[in-house]
């Protein structure tokens, strides 16, 4: 059984380490990468694997046992150059340390959300923060999914100039790495008012 780590959204520093699987202390057999490779500016993805897996698919063509695979949108030169530039930034700038500091600011700025009567939980790993909305905090009774409270919070956030990602009744913060403390506070204030509007 092979372990596949999907690092498409969480890789390249989003969780506080270069890859989320680093925090779990695991070494996957396959790792899927994408958004963080180019900073989201150009579409590019990659699948990494171990030498052992690679060698299992590599053989002399004449033996007809090699795994021959390709696709028509492979190796775009501009996207690959953007990926190299991104990797250079990680190599030459303290991206992970900056992200850890920003994550701490996010945690501090949202600490009071835990006292909100319609917030069941605030969860955070690095620069991913989730706020779970509930109808009743005491027993964590959820809002009926048909009411789309997360969508209401998202719509309110847009009016405030802030993108709050809704997944059901959970609101996510996944800010860019260049966010500053003032923008974090703007995001938090917009989320607080969005939750107030979405839960009334």
Segments making up each domain of the chain, as ranges: 4-93, 96-198
pLDDT in tens, 39-79: 888 999 999 999 998 888 777 778 777 777 776 667 889 99
Fold of the 96-198 domain = 3.90.1150
Longest pairwise C-alpha distance within the chain: 69
pLDDT of residue 147: 95
pLDDT of residue 2: 95
Percentage of the chain with pLDDT > 70?
Answer: 97
CATH architecture of structural domain 4-93? 3-Layer(aba) Sandwich (3.40)
pLDDT of residue 63: 77
Beta carbons of 7 and 31 less than 8 angstroms apart: yes
Beta carbons of 47 and 30 less than 8 angstroms apart: yes
pLDDT of residue 41: 87
**pLDDT, the chain, mean:** 93
pLDDT of residue 169: 96
pLDDT of residue 22: 94
pLDDT of residue 49: 93
Structure-block tokens of residue 49: 């694997």
pLDDT of residue 5: 97
pLDDT in tens, 133-184: 999 999 999 999 999 999 999 999 999 999 999 999 999 999 999 999 999 9
> Which of the pair, 15 or 65, is modelled with greater confidence?
15
Average pLDDT over residues 96-106: 97
Q: What secondary structure, in 3-state letters, does the chain show?
A: CCCEEECCCCCCCCCCCCCHHHHHCCCCCEEEECHHHCCCCCCCCEEEECHHHHHHHCCCHHHCCCCCCCCCCCCCHHHHHHHHHHHHHHHHCCHHHHHHHHHHHHHHHCHHHHHCCCEEEEEEECCEEEEEECCECCCCECCCHHHCHHHHHHHHHHHCCCCCEEECCEEEECCCCCCCHHHHHHHHHHHHHHHHHHCC
pLDDT in tens, 116-133: 999 999 999 999 999 999
- Judge residue 67's burial from the number of C-beta atoms within 10 Å of its C-beta, 0-12 exposed, 13-18 middle, 19 or more buried: exposed
Average pLDDT over residues 93-104: 97
């Amino acid at each position: 059984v092979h372990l596949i780590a999907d690092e498409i959204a969480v890789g390249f520093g989003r969780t506080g380490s270069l890859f989320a699987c680093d925090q779990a202390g695991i070494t996957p057999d396959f790792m899927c990468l994408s958004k963080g490779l180019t900073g989201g500016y150009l579409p590019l993805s990659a699948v990494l694997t171990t030498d052992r897996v690679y060698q299992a698919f590599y053989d002399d063509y004449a033996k007809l046992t090699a795994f021959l695979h390709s696709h028509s949108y492979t190796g775009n030169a501009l996207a690959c150059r953007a990926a190299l530039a991104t990797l250079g930034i990680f190599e030459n700038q303290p991206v992970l340390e900056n992200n850890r500091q920003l994550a701490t600011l996010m945690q501090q700025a949202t600490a009071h959300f835990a006292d909100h009567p319609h917030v069941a939980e605030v969860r955070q790993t690095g620069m991913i923060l989730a706020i779970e909305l509930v109808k009743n905090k005491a027993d964590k009774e959820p809002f009926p999914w048909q009411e789309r409270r997360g969508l209401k919070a998202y719509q309110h956030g847009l009016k405030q100039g802030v993108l709050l990602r809704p997944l059901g009744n959970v609101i996510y913060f996944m800010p860019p790495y260049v966010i500053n403390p003032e923008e974090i506070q703007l995001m938090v204030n917009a989320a607080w008012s969005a939750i107030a509007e979405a839960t009334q």
